[in-house]
Amino acid sequence: MGGRRCGLMKRPPVRSDLQEMSGYHSPQVDVEVRLNTNEAPFPPPEEFQSAFVAELKEVEWNRYPDRAAQLLREDLAALHDVEPAQIFVANGSNEVLQTLCLTFGGYGRTALSFTPTYAMYAQIARTTQCRVVEVPRDENFLITSSILDNAIENEAPELLFLCSPNNPTGTPESIELVRAAISRAPGLVVVDEAYGQFADFTAIDLFSEDPPPESLVVTRTFSKTWSMAGVRLGYCVMPSWMLNEFEKVVLPYHLDSVKQVAGRVALRFYEEMEERVSQIAFERSRIEAQVANLGLTVWRSQANFVMLRTTPSGLSGDEVWERLLRRSVLVRNCSSWPGLLDCLRVTVGTPSENTTFLAALEEALQ
């Protein structure tokens, strides 16, 4: 009996490489102003919600969804002026990134990113057993052409991640850098444009060149501009030959019918979304100007968030983060990320949330 109980209580060993890893978390605390996860501050328009509910009546609940998500892919292709075969859709752009790692990465293959950047590149690459290389950017958080060249020459990555605008610095990459990466890297070049709608430049334009790039993938999400972080929908634009390969690694029917409908209905509200982008850009400039006025270092952002460094005030990032929290304002504390000592990242919220944040920051610095 005792022996049997022992057998039941035995924990199977987790993969040894996973045992050393920790998960990716942003602490969620109950606060009045939550500016820590770069979501849109407003829900989608009212009309979206009623149109979505109306479309739901057409869903065949007892049937599996359209496995190819054909209609959604056609709508996205029209939006970006590419072919539907150049669009792959998944449960958030994180799942797109995972699909890329499963297709192009894996054991014995290298995934390279330039830190500080979105930590999920390394996290997903590790869980898919890639060799992970993280190359530091220069002191202004730029990837200079010599940093890029050396990284490619030394590491010959099968997957190279660029994030434009970069999370958490908010800074965009240049088209020249993306071109250089495509022409020099031996493998796939991923440009993560989760915040692409807020930026002046999109790498998607490169697909209209002749000949179009064969090794470029540009990822996008509905989680930010489209105000749909709750839905988990993302996609990528890529050369059409990749679609067949992605279908081998993704689970059958991975994208449910309801989500496909949500994405298609959201795309009908493109103009409203563009309007929100300009409102957020306006608020972002207000935050940048006031943070600079308070004497802190702030980076010019092209995203829906701003990164600042607290040290000119004589206070550490941890201290300012705590003081903001005491005033019920939650921002992202990046102080422990490589190269980001005393840096905080604040998501652009509603005008009143931003005003509350700026007032709390001013008080926190006193």
Residue 192 makes contact with ligand PMP by CB under 6 A: yes
Residue 228 makes contact with ligand PMP by CB under 6 A: no
Q: Which residue is nearest to ligand PMP (CB)?
A: 92
Q: Which helix (DSSP H) or strand (DSSP E) does residue 117 occupy? A: none
d(CA 352, CA 363): 17
d(CA 102, CA 232): 19
Which of 36, 86, 94, 290 contacts ligand PMP by CB under 6 A? 94
**Residue 171 token pair:** 């800074």
The answer to whether the CB of 224 falls within 8 A of the CB of 234 is no
Q: What angle is formed at CA 163 by the lines to CA 248 and CA 116, rounded to 5 degrees?
A: 120
Q: How far is the CB of 62 from ligand PMP (least distance, A)?
A: 29
Q: Which amino acid is at 282?
A: F
Single out the segment in contact with ligand PMP by CB under 6 A; choices: 72-80, 221-229, 237-245, 315-323: 221-229
Which of 234, 263, 317, 349 contacts ligand PMP by CB under 6 A? 234
Single out the segment in contact with ligand PMP by CB under 6 A; choices: 88-96, 123-131, 181-189, 274-282: 88-96
The answer to whether the CB of 124 falls within 8 A of the CB of 71 is no
Which is nearer to ligand PMP, 160 or 358 (by Cβ)?
Answer: 160
Which is nearer to ligand PMP, 229 or 365 (by Cβ)?
Answer: 229
Residue 223 makes contact with ligand PMP by CB under 6 A: yes
Q: How far is the CB of 164 from ligand PMP (least distance, A)?
A: 9
Q: Find all residues with CB under 8 Å of 361, minimum gap 6, and list them.
A: 291, 294, 320, 324, 329
Using left for φ > 0, alpha for ψ between -120 and 50, and beta otherwise, residue 232 falls in: left
Which of 76, 163, 191, 266 contacts ligand PMP by CB under 6 A? 163
Which of 118, 141, 198, 207 contacts ligand PMP by CB under 6 A? 118
Count of Cβ atoms closer than 10 Å to residue 285 Cβ: 14
| DSSP 8-class letter at 188 | E
Which is nearer to ligand PMP, 194 or 364 (by Cβ)?
Answer: 194
Residue 48 makes contact with ligand PMP by CB under 6 A: no
Residue 356 makes contact with ligand PMP by CB under 6 A: no
Which is nearer to ligand PMP, 118 or 269 (by Cβ)?
Answer: 118
Q: How far is the CB of 219 from ligand PMP (least distance, A)?
A: 7
Burial class (CB in 10 A: 0-12, 13-18, 19+), 27: exposed
Q: How far is the CB of 246 from ligand PMP (least distance, A)?
A: 16
Which is nearer to ligand PMP, 167 or 313 (by Cβ)?
Answer: 167
Sign for the pseudo-dihedral over CA of 297, 322, 337, 228: negative
Single out the segment in contact with ligand PMP by CB under 6 A; choices: 56-64, 90-98, 104-112, 128-136: 90-98
Beta bridge partners of 33: 329
If you write DSSP's letter for every residue of 7-25 in order, what string do you get?
HHTPPPPPPHHHHT-----
d(CA 195, CA 201): 11
Which of 36, 44, 80, 93 contacts ligand PMP by CB under 6 A? 93
Residue 333 makes contact with ligand PMP by CB under 6 A: no
Single out the segment in contact with ligand PMP by CB under 6 A; choices: 51-59, 92-100, 273-281, 326-334: 92-100
Which of 171, 197, 221, 310 contacts ligand PMP by CB under 6 A? 221
The answer to whether the CB of 63 falls within 8 A of the CB of 260 is no
Buried-state track 146-158, b at ≥16 Cβ within 10 A, e below 16: ebbeebbeebebb
Q: How far is the CB of 178 from ligand PMP (least distance, A)?
A: 15
Count of Cβ atoms closer than 10 Å to residue 7 Cβ: 8
Which is nearer to ligand PMP, 103 or 166 (by Cβ)?
Answer: 166
- Per CB under 6 A, residues contacting ligand PMP are 38, 92-94, 118, 163, 167, 192, 194, 221, 223, 229, 234
